[in-house]
Structure 1
Amino acid sequence: MRGYVLRRLVQAVLVLWAAYTLSFLLLSALPGDSISNRIQNPEAQITPEAGRLMLEFYGLDRPVWEQYLHALWGLLHGDLGFSLTTGKPVAHSVADALPSTLSLTGLGLVFGLVFAAVVAVAANYAPWAWLRGLFDSVPALFASVPTFVVGVLALQYLSFRWHLIPSVDDGTLLALVAPAATLGLIVAAPLAQVFAASVRTTRERPFVHVAQARGAGEGYIFRKDVLRNSALPVLTLLGLAFGELIAGAVVTESVYARQGIGQLTVGAVDTQDLPVVQGVVLLSTVAYVLVNLAVDLAYPFIDPRVLVDGRTRRVTDAQVAKRTAAVAPVPVVAAVPRRLPAEVAMP
């Protein structure tokens, strides 16, 4: 188990380094930045000497490789640089916007899991075939509707027409419900589809039929056998869908006018504030890597067949036959002679 955890940690560090390096190179290749645009703007009235000092302060007058090494060294010491627009440390800007986004994504993930569980269970255990088919089509409906459309419709009816939720973020839990439910639909669609298919496949396994033959109810079988054996594909997809959850937070916060990482990203992209954009990319990568690392570490506890080296325990037919022969009782069968004894032979 120690080697498994160590390998996953090394892979997580390599992914973080690769994501930071790639984002730095891509952002550095873009033409212009906030400081250069401000210097070249005649309305800003910045003298050449002041422009040179600004470029020197932010390190934009150095070669790209030197800027990368300086930024990487600062990252190792917890320094993400300074915003080119506000002059504030990037770490402070991200820390100020993070709590709002964490509450939104956390509640959105809860809504998504609840939606997916309800749809998957209803698609397999509904009493009528037409109702099961109806719930089977719900994931496709969730996936086909864009996030901003759901957000606009929720604002139109829940806020402006029915006055059930506030139209802007006022800091209350009620104002968080509609954005979180909108964000939850992003992860609910793939999770519901995979969970429904996994439950359907698990219900056809022999051990489920054995439990049914022994008189166990559907609820007991679902809790004891079906749920645990169907959870592994959902857990795998949950780690992958977390990236969509982070990306959807940007759109959701823009629609509902919530202050968070999404609004910070939109503002940084509009002003070409490259350090802030890179800080947001790094934060998203860290969150994505941590969630997938937690999923990898949870595999051996959910499915005992997963070994600590990440492989699945597979027993060959020869091993099964050998183990069966070792434990199976040998039947005592009287040997039948090829010829009858002379004393019992017929004349």
Structure 2
Amino acid sequence: MNLVRFIAGRVLGALFVLWAVATLIFFAIRLVPGDPAEAILGGPGSQASQEALDLVRRQYGLDQPLLVQYLDQLGRLARGDLGTSYSLKQSVSSVLAAQVPPTLLLASLSLVAAWILAVGVAWWSAGSGRVARAVSSGLEVVASAVPHFLLGSVLIVVFATGLGLLPPVSTGTPIGLVLPVVTLAVPVAGFLGQVTRDSLLDAAAAPFALTATARGEGPSGLFWRHLLRHAALPGLALSGWAFGSLLSGAIVVESLFARPGLGRTLLDAVTLRDIPLVTGVALVSALAYVVVVALGDLAEKAVDPRGASA
């Protein structure tokens, strides 16, 4: 019954989030100056006639009151119809089917890399004294504050232009993923590292850690068998936020490294006032965020020693 309530709550929460995102996008994009009918016909440079503009408005329902347009869009979305992209003249579903996998792969690898970096720094600082903790704290603050475009540019200059070790743009191969993944992962690793390190220090002072040490547990065994399970809990709770941050950062990173994906698609769609495509990208991103938050909650319950002992 607990699992059923958990699933039902997540489904209802996901539906509310999707409705809120669709509503926000619908009204926000109509505040952008310009005529959607003009955007459909190629923008102001197309010099479309008034007759063509009127025809497009009737065809897409843009001549209807705003409330009617809004309800019509909600009805289509409820049926799973994301519409047709104004700029690409393709169904939004087909565009997303091509662009979602590269972005999800990039975000997922970046989240894994961020956790590896965060845990690695926490492990190093835990057994290396006060100086190491101060250094790791400084590195985490710098990492969490550095902008993606600046970090990515530095990595390109150093590892692509200077050393020639890695390609500066996406090549469709695993080696082409290295710089984009590191660019996305480092700022998130800074946040996760700060939270994990603070929790690690609290766990190290707890009675169970002192008991394990008294029983002869070494520093490495104490960290991996006992402390990490406690220290990782706050970070796991933040994994949903971290994944959302990675999806938003993908807009910059995919453009910087000329990589296909939702980020570049969303940027182009907003520029061209492509309302169906903007809505589709936003809904897919929101759904991915909801799913990752739910998985993070499940992982937290599985890792939590208190839950396991119960």
Superposition TM-score, scaled by structure 2 size: 0.92
Superposed displacement of residue 50, structure 1: 2.1
**TM superposition shift of 1:234:** 1.0
Say yes or no: does 1:15 pair with 2:29: no
Aligned to 1:225: 226
1:244 has 2:233 as partner: no
Higher helix share: 2
- Seen in structure 2, the aligned counterparts of structure 1 residues 246 and 40 have a Cα distance that, compared at 3 Å, is closer
Residue 153 (structure 1) shift: 1.0
For residue 229 of structure 2, what is the amino acid of its counterpart?
R
Find the counterpart in structure 1 of residue 78 from structure 2.
76
Structure with bigger gyration radius: 1
Mapped contact 1:119–1:138 kept (Cα < 8 A) = no
CA distance in 2, matches of 1:182, 1:100: 16
**Deviation digits for residues 148-202 of structure 1, max 9, x if unmatched?**
1111111112111211112222211111111111110121011000001111100
1:5: Cα distance to partner? 2.8
Letter in 1 for 2:61: G
Structure 2 match to 1:30 = 32
Equivalent position of 1:167 in the other structure: 168
What CA distance in whole angstroms lies between the structure 2 residues aligned with 1:104 and 1:56?
40
Question: Offset at 1:219?
Answer: 2.2
The amino acid that maps onto 1:204 is A
Q: Mark the CA change 1:259 to 1:33 in structure 2 (over 3 Å): closer, same or farther.
A: farther
Look up the match of 2:157.
156
Note the C-alpha offset of 1:136. Answer: 2.1
1:34–1:85 Cα contact (<8 Å) kept: no
Between the aligned partners of 2:251 and 2:44, the Cα distance in structure 1 is: 33
- 2:111, 2:242 within 8 Å by CA — same for their partners in 1? no
Alignment of 1:1-347 (within 5 A): 1=2, 2-37=4-39, 44-126=46-128, 128-303=129-304, 305=306
Q: From the superposition, tell whether residues 216 and 44 of structure 1 become closer, same or farther in structure 2 (CA, over 3 Å).
A: closer
Give the 3-state SS of the residue equivalent to 2:84 in structure 1: coil
TM-score, normalised to structure 1, is 0.82
The one-letter amino acid of 2:8's match is: L
After superposition, the Cα gap between the structure-2 partners of 1:26 and 1:215, relative to the gap in structure 1 and judged at 3 Å, is same
Distance 1:147 1:179 in 2: 10
Q: What is the aligned-residue identity percentage?
A: 37
* TM-aligned CA deviation for residue 4 of structure 1: 2.9
Q: What is the identity, as a one-letter code, of the residue corresponding to 2:104? A: L
Distance 1:47 1:140, change over 3 A: same
Give 1:99's aligned amino acid: P
How far apart in 1 are the matches of 2:92 and 2:79?
Answer: 14
Q: CA RMSD in A?
A: 2.1
**Alpha-carbon distance in 2 for matches of 1:188, 1:40:** 42
User: Taking structure 1 as reference, are residues 133 and 39 closer, same or farther at Cα in structure 2, changes over 3 Å only?
Assistant: closer
The answer to whether the 8 Å contact 1:5/1:297 transfers is no
1: CA distance between counterparts of 2:85 and 2:244?
25
Amino acid at match of 1:87: K
Instruction: Check 1:119–1:229 CA distance in 2 against 1; reply closer, same or farther (3 A cut).
Output: same
Q: How far, CA to CA, are the matches of 2:43 and 2:232 in structure 1?
A: 57
* Cα offset, 1:254, TM superposition: 1.1
Cα drift, residue 125 of structure 1: 1.4
Q: Structure 2: state its 5+ residue gaps.
A: none
Structure 2 letter corresponding to 1:236: A
- Mapped partners of 1:263, 1:4: distance in 2: 35
1:188-236 deviation line (CA, Å, top 9, x unaligned): 0110000011111001001111111122222222233212122211101
CA drift of 1:263 comes to 1.0
- Give the aligned length: 307
Structure 1 gaps of 5+ residues are: 308-312, 314-347
